[in-house]
Amino acid sequence: MKKLTMLSLFWMMAGCQSVTHPPLATVTYVDLPRFMGDWYVIANIPTFIEQGAHNAVESYRLDADGTVATTFTFRAGGFDGPVKRFNPRGFVVENTGNAEWGMRFVWPFKSEYRITYLNESYSQTVIGRTKRDYVWIMSRSPIMSEADYQRLVQLLADQGYDVNKLQKVPQHW
């Protein structure tokens, strides 16, 4: 119950912040069935629950009602730390090419989720927010080349993110 209360408080406070940036551009279209599956979090500007996360993985499953069942797992504080699991639900926003979602951790609040980059092979993606407060660089593999990583960091800088806040997420499987 304490975790649920903390998450509720976090998302309510996040929703009260004023927006000073224009909306983030999203990709034109996302083939949802192709986007589903496991994504390893390579780097992020973390939320408070993700601080110290290791082996972070975001998994998506498209349900029959069109919503996205999400499972976010990681080990807290180290590779041998306790497993943490969260199950938000994604709601695809109509007429956005499936690139904008509302991610609900606690009813009735939905957090902005924008697919701002997705490579042609659906092997790398960037998820952002208009507030530029959080961002996730993800890959289908737990390893990303340094060249690809630096290219995505530059993309984030060009989008107005403070890339000094970006943290690599340790991945070791």
pLDDT tens for 59-106 read 999 999 999 999 999 999 999 999 999 999 999 999 999 999 999 987
Query: Which CATH architecture fits 2-17+25-168?
Result: Beta Barrel (2.40)
Six token digits for residue 46 = 């973390």
pLDDT over 80 at 12, yes or no: no
Cα end-to-end distance, the chain, whole Å: 31
Domain edges within the chain: 2-17+25-168
Q: Of 111 and 57, which is predicted with more confidence?
A: 57
The bridge status of strand 109-118 relative to strand 37-45 is unpaired
- Which region, left, alpha or beta, applies to residue 66 given φ > 0 means left and ψ of -120 to 50 means alpha? left
Specify the higher pLDDT residue, 13 or 170. 170
Positive or negative, the Cα torsion across 31, 87, 49, 13? positive
Q: pTM value?
A: 0.87
Distance CA 105, CA 17 (A): 18
Measured CA to CA, the distance from residue 15 to residue 1 in angstroms comes to 21
Q: Residue 3: is its pLDDT beyond 70? A: no
The b/e string for 104-120 (b: 16+ C-beta within 10 A; e otherwise) is bbbeebbbbbbbbbbee
Q: Read off the pLDDT of residues 122-143 as tens digits, 9 standing for 90 and up.
A: 999 999 999 999 999 999 999 9
